Amino acid sequence: MRAHCSGLEHEDARVLGAEELASHGPIPWWRVERPPRKSVLAPNRLTGENRQSGGTATKGLALARQVGTELHFEAPGPGPWHLDPVHFPRPVTRYFSETHPEPFKRGFSELTAFYGMLVEGMQYAYVNGFAYSNMRPLAEEEIPARLQRAEEVFERKLWREQLRDWDETFKPASIRVHRELQSVDADALPDAELADYLTRCRDHHAEMMFQHMRFTGAAMLPVGDLLANVGDWTDIPPAELLSMMRGSAPVSAGASAELERLIAALKQDRDARDLLDADGDAAEILERLRAQEGATGDAVSAYLDLVGYRLLDGFDISGRYALEFPDALIRAVRASVDRGPEEGPDVEDRVAEVRGKLPAERLSQFDELLEEARLTYRIRDERGVFSDVWASGIMRRAALAAGRRLAERGRIHDAEHIVDAGLDEMRSLVSGADGPSADELAKRFEARISLTAKDAPPALGPPPPPPPDPSGLPRGAARVMRAIGIAIDALFGSSEAEHEEHLLRGLAASGGVYEGPARRVSDPSEFERIIQGDVLVTESTTEAFNILLPLLGAIVTDSGGLLSHSAIVAREYGIPRGVGTREATERIADGALIRVDGDAGEVTVPR
């Protein structure tokens, strides 16, 4: 799918004029395919019964069942379905698979309509907990309006409207609701009120999923348009072009006014700095810092209220939020306080280098493209950090309050197991009604954490047809579809270069060279193992991981491309990054001394 996200999919595509396109009958590449469903058997490391039953898909729980010692994968609908290991490197919880598909589909549909894209949208379904996506064709009668809208996109610079809405309305409103919900003492609520609070948190979480997707165009289209045009004019690699974005997305590097205020306060308060550096229980130290009188205590509280309940990895409530890792959080704050003046390539020099390779007649257009790309680049990560990443942490907090209560009553074995219940099941359990047994929840939990996306087939259903040449589309539609397609390719596309015995080849996502110990992290619960100077080796990361960036010397991932969240975060923070290596987590041992060449996208492993 990654090469076909433009939605223009047909082997017999021909060049059509705007008038013919608008009046044409069923257009082949938007036609809904209805082939026989294809299924796949994948190796399974589980034993015992499957946690999801077969049958008709409901609320995103697609057809899935275990056959003997194998997991059975069946396409959840017509057309090709593709695994998403970049955003979901592990299976998701039942709660997430129930909650995510509808707001995602609704948000993506709003995105495509706003920007005049010639697809209806994208949908997700979950098979054995694994995320699969599918592009949905546009109805024939919608095509003329979309073509007209696409012509307006660049004339009116519609992404600027979204950016203004984000800054003035949606972002501040989201933060207000986040703060309101996280101020509730969930442990003190009676059972009935806790059940209602769980629903409030879920409803907010779903709305933030929708919000995340509706602002995707502003995050992707201008930068995709820059890559498309400069790629036509020069042979400059995309990684070099994206280096010009550095500095335009401070949130991706973990920057915030609250963090700057905290750093300043700690540098001026010797007693507080001594407390930060002291040995002892990390959670207690954080509370003592928060209780400090004056500017320091206020600064600590403001920072923890901003980041404390954001997930550090992933989007599901199976991830953990920052306050669940007090030791890592304290060490990251120490590193931020100790960090000297930022060093790195001068962005103005990078821009000058690119301009020097452009035809003179393209310079003015290039300057405009770059300005628009840099203007909106920050929303790529902001829409997650201030939307569903934060809301998911708040939902997790509410669920764990329920889990602790149920574990104390002996109703479940471990408070953490509650995250593998659906919302209705959580409410029933808290209210004392019927619900899954303790053993059933434990089985779901163990099944989920034992698997990764490498245990699932990369595609289900029929193979996608090759994409046609979109050059026959009207100018606006062709430009929109090409820009979005290039941006999505840069998000999902991993390296296809061959590895050597001691050399892994990925994509050069963030420049620089670093040598240090590999810290193999396969699950958010292992973040406490990270120490300063480590090279994080993991399947993929999200934008929320930026809280722990001060501890890292470099990052290496299996999945993701040059516009993946992990690449943006590393580029903005200025540490080497190799993404899309495919096999790093399998070939690099924990603790091994490795060398990351972010300029080449190569990782040298021990001999």
Is the confidence at residue 29, as pLDDT, over 80?
no
Rounded CA separation 596/478 (Å): 38
Type and span of the H or E element at 72: strand 70-74
pLDDT of residue 345: 55
Q: Which residue has the higher pLDDT, 167 or 558?
A: 167
Is the confidence at residue 418, as pLDDT, over 50?
yes
pLDDT of residue 1: 32
What are the tokens at 31? 């036609």
pLDDT of residue 150: 97
State the chain's mean pLDDT as an integer. 86
Rounded CA separation 421/433 (Å): 14
Q: How confident is the model at residue 464 (pLDDT cuts 50, 70, 90)?
A: confident
Is the confidence at residue 32, as pLDDT, over 70?
no
Residue 477: which of 148, 246, 242 has the closest Cα? 148
pLDDT of residue 98: 98
pLDDT tens, position by position, 345-403: 589 999 999 999 999 999 999 999 999 999 999 999 999 999 999 999 999 999 999 99
Is the confidence at residue 308, as pLDDT, over 90?
yes
| Residue 112 burial (CB count, 10 A) | 25
Dihedral sign, CA of 516, 521, 524, 525? negative
Is the confidence at residue 53, as pLDDT, over 70?
no
Say what percent of the chain tops pLDDT 90.
67
pLDDT of residue 343: 57
Tell me whether strands 534-538 and 513-520 are parallel, antiparallel or unpaired.
Answer: parallel
Asked if residues 441 and 412 have their Cβ atoms less than 8 Å apart, the reply is yes
Is the confidence at residue 87, as pLDDT, over 50?
yes
Say what percent of the chain tops pLDDT 70.
87
Q: How far is CA 93 from the centre of its chain?
A: 16
| Residue 149 burial (CB count, 10 A) | 19
Q: Where are the domains of the chain?
A: 503-604
pLDDT of residue 274: 95
Q: How far is CA 128 from the centre of its chain?
A: 20
Lowest mean pLDDT among 70-74, 351-355, 357-361, 428-432: 70-74
| Residue 590 burial (CB count, 10 A) | 15
Averaged pLDDT, 11-18: 36
Lowest mean pLDDT among 13-27, 272-286, 363-377, 411-425: 13-27
State the CATH architecture for 503-604.
3-Layer(bba) Sandwich (3.50)
Q: Which residue has the higher pLDDT, 301 or 472?
A: 301
- Residue the block writes with tokens 């390296």: 495
Rounded CA separation 284/263 (Å): 20
Asked if residues 569 and 549 have their Cβ atoms less than 8 Å apart, the reply is yes
Rounded CA separation 518/278 (Å): 27
Is the confidence at residue 475, as pLDDT, over 90?
yes
What are the tokens at 10? 């047909």
Is the confidence at residue 96, as pLDDT, over 70?
yes
Asked if residues 154 and 224 have their Cβ atoms less than 8 Å apart, the reply is no
Averaged pLDDT, 502-529: 88
Q: What angle do CA 563, 603, 219 make, to 5 degrees?
A: 5
Which CA distances in Å does 515 have to 213, 518, 536, 601?
37, 9, 12, 14
Residue 215 contacts by C-beta under 8 Å, 6 or more apart in sequence?
111, 162, 166, 170, 379, 383
Q: Which residue has the higher pLDDT, 17 or 601?
A: 601
Asked if residues 290 and 330 have their Cβ atoms less than 8 Å apart, the reply is no
Which CA distances in Å does 438 have to 226, 406, 415?
53, 10, 10
- Residue the block writes with tokens 């409530």: 317
Is the confidence at residue 268, as pLDDT, over 50?
yes
Rounded CA separation 416/524 (Å): 13
Q: What angle do CA 217, 487, 148 make, to 5 degrees?
A: 45
Asked if residues 173 and 386 have their Cβ atoms less than 8 Å apart, the reply is no
Tell me whether strands 70-74 and 513-520 are parallel, antiparallel or unpaired.
Answer: unpaired
Type and span of the H or E element at 74: strand 70-74
Is the confidence at residue 306, as pLDDT, over 90?
yes
Measured in degrees and rounded to the nearest 5, phi and psi for residue 453 equal -60, -20
Residue 121: which of 140, 103, 134 has the closest Cα? 134
The per-residue b/e assignment along 534-561, b for 16 or more CB within 10 angstroms, e otherwise, is bbbbbbbbbbbbbbbbbbbbbbbbbbbb
pLDDT of residue 342: 58
Rg from Cα positions in the chain:
24
pLDDT tens, position by position, 235-256: 999 989 999 999 998 888 788 9
Q: How confident is the model at residue 575 (pLDDT cuts 50, 70, 90)?
A: confident
DSSP state of 131: E
Is the confidence at residue 59, as pLDDT, over 60?
no
